[in-house]
A and B are shown apart, each in its own frame.
Chain A
Amino acid sequence: MKFLSVHDLLKQYLEEGRIKVDKSIHQELTTFHDPCNYGRKSERTFGHGYYEEPRWITQQCCENFVDMYPNRANNFCCGAGGGAWASPYVEERIFYGRAKAKQIKDTGAKLLIAPCHNCRDQIMKSLRKEYDFMDVEVKYLWELVADSLIIEPKDE
């Protein structure tokens, strides 16, 4: 059985020129959130953490990129992992997210890319409001790519 992650597929499409993107669409300073599952846990379970691929993909679609600190294997969880987004411990989930919120705000970025449904929801729908950074836009990694696509007319 063969399987691959969204990062592998998006990177492959961009490298092979199967999709073309216009990075001038996203001029604003952009940062990237490392989801625990794609990073640390993938590294431990499968021997490879997806740290560089999503950064590369993001930078194909954005002019200005800045990393949070700490990042990659030392990144802070969004605070909603492990099912916490669906758990009743809301106060604790928001408290947990303070570390993430500070990291994001410290970058000064106005666009944040999250390649995980859960992380995106926590940051976009909860942390932005709770920690006052509604001015930061949040997108899925594949949303960023879809929004950057140059659609060429098909040759019939």
Chain B
Amino acid sequence: MEPLLLSKREKRRLAGQYADLCLTCGTCAGGCPVTGVDGLDVRKVVRLALLGLDQEVIDSRFPWVCTLCGRCEHACPMNIDLVKLLRSARGMRDRDKVPGVLHKGVAMCLKTGNNVGIPHEDFMFLLQDLGAELAEELPGFEVPVDKKGAKYLFTINSKEPFAEPEDMMFWWRILTAAGESWTVASKNWEGVNWGLFTGDDASMKEIVGRVVQNYKELECEYLVLPE
């Protein structure tokens, strides 16, 4: 076994600002449901980071099997920023090595304005069609799209128009019952930001920026985050 030189620590890149405060108590790992998967756990990840073995963490599946739920961080007696550490490991992977569809979703969102690439016309048609369906129950109902000066701007989880469109009606019913002034944007309406999950701050910021731009252009008072 190769000796681990303390000088290696200088090369450490994983963002765990307070990781060297770790007492190695294992509280974090003790409360985590995926401790032991692939022989790793969050306490070991902290040790690897402190020893400068960043690449081992980045190449492992652990930061992705972890759900970034923050239970470890909440329990940590030294309040170490464990979620930030694990998320930064995700961000340091080459984008083509991000598991599954997550990065593809980010790229799709940057390109089309939503994670699953629903074309503008299809989205407009769906809102109109579903709106007409709900109008049979609530006469006069239609989905307010790009309504300038509405009080609330709602984003939409693309999963709904993509796979479970009728679930959008739950909110529509509530907003109608409340007599609310609200709107959805016709473009960049995606409410899910997978850059958060892939550790991709630049894309995350761009996607948030587009939502903020809608909010400003439509002169809404509040942005509602339905997730």
Q: How far is the CB of B111 from chain A (nearest CB, A)?
A: 18
- Are the CB atoms of A96 and B67 closer together than 8 Å? yes
What are the interface flags for A1-33 relative to B under an 8 Å C-beta threshold, 1 for contact and 0 otherwise?
A: 111111001100100001100000000000000
- Of B173, B180, B226, which is within 8 A of A6 by CB? B226
A80 touches B67 (CB 8 A): yes
Contact residue among B102, B215, B223 (Cβ-Cβ distance under 8 Å from A83): B102
Contact A3 to B33, CB < 8 A, known contacts A13-B178, A89-B64: no
Interface size bucket, A side?
Answer: 35 or more
Q: How many A-B residue pairs have CB under 8 A?
A: 140
A143 within 8 A of B: yes
Most buried by B among A4, A87, A97, A118: A87
Asked if B18 lies at the interface with its beta carbon under 8 angstroms from chain A, I say no
Residues from chain B with a CB closer than 8 A to the CB of A37 are: 227
Q: Provide the residues of chain B in CB contact with A88, threshold 8 Å.
A: 99-100
Report the nearest A residue to B140, measured CB to CB.
A154
> Is A77 an interface position by the 8 A CB rule?
yes
Instruction: Tell me, yes or no, whether B177 is within 8 Å of chain A by CB.
Output: yes
Q: Is the pair A36, B100 in contact by a Cβ cutoff of 8 Å?
A: no
Contact at B212–A81, with CB atoms within 8 Å? no
Q: Which residues of B contact A75 (CB under 8 A)?
A: 71
- Report if A82 contacts B (CB, 8 A): yes
Chain A nearest CB from B181 CB (Å) reads: 12
Determine the interface band of chain B, counting residues with CB < 8 A from chain A: 35 or more
Q: Which of B7-15, B142-150, B164-172 contacts A (4 or more CB under 8 A)?
A: B164-172
Minimum C-beta distance from A92 to chain B (A)? 5
How many Å lie between the Cα of A61 and that of B34 in the bound state?
Answer: 35
Q: Report yes or no: B224 in contact with A2, Cβ–Cβ below 8 A.
A: no
With an 8 A cutoff between CB atoms, is A56 at the interface?
Answer: no
CA distance A1 to B99 in the complex (A): 35
Pick 20 A–B contacts, CB within 8 A, sort by A. A9-B152, A19-B178, A74-B71, A76-B69, A77-B33, A77-B71, A80-B67, A83-B197, A86-B101, A87-B99, A87-B100, A88-B99, A116-B227, A117-B157, A117-B159, A118-B227, A142-B170, A142-B171, A142-B174, A151-B138
* 6 new A-B contacts at CB < 8 Å, known A6-B226, A140-B167: A19-B174, A75-B71, A80-B67, A82-B64, A87-B64, A92-B61
